[in-house]
Structure 1
């Protein structure tokens, strides 16, 4: 299967497909404690069948143009996910979401994947704005957003309820006119 977007040699974004269910579940299961801190869906992912259902729905949404979910694959192994989690075609904006395995953090991998993905979105799609909602305590995610040029636009106070606790969500935005990277095209 060909990658959707090649980030660099050995690092690519693949469109979701149910055939990745077992591998995706293994990553989520191995990273459960790391991921569940900020991702509410992790606790509901208990089997490869749960991952298969997610991948089936994500592939269906990808075809319908309402979302675009990719798996981050490094040297043949799934290490994370990156995609559009909310889309408003009429107003030409989308919200990005992502996660990466704990041992892959701090190496610039997510930043480079996002650069390629954002270049595709601004270059090949008719989007004017991208945004992210990031928990105020999720420092690694906030660092990625800032490295990509996203600007902090505001805070939604106590907007995320997770693990019996409220968290503030910070809104980061990036406009097409602020983006400085060349276009990327799908392979």
Structure 2
């Protein structure tokens, strides 16, 4: 399963076997059960994680108790609260397992050490941050410029297999609509 991580990295940069061994020395495998939290809102984010298996929702709980899902993370995705992880600020998000999950985690000190031992990982990190920024910009533009129905259609067309792993309550939160409204959208399609 660790090969999923190696393949993810090597899509952007090549690794020697020695560099791969250094990476393995600095990551730790963690298993989470469905509904376990990797991170709780208003805590300190201790880890950056790579999803080997499972689905996570990244969301914020507002003062009235409603949740707003920002993203989902699936197999082969990276997850963390970047601001909290790198700047020691309290997290703004919850990261919750929607299925039984297996992840690889790295803490900030080990990641800093790894950047020194394998400097080309900085390039990978930069490319990862660029990709994340593009995804966030696209999500923001979708929210600003598309109807709920268009966002739903785009989501199920772009992620047909992934969409089957998310229940309607979570999908409606992600789309920013009520569960009832999502049901109406689905009936019209």
The normalised TM-score by structure 2 is 0.27
The normalised TM-score by structure 1 is 0.27
Q: Which has the larger Rg? A: 2
Q: Larger relative contact order (C-alpha < 8 A, sep ≥ 6)? A: 2
Higher helix share: 2
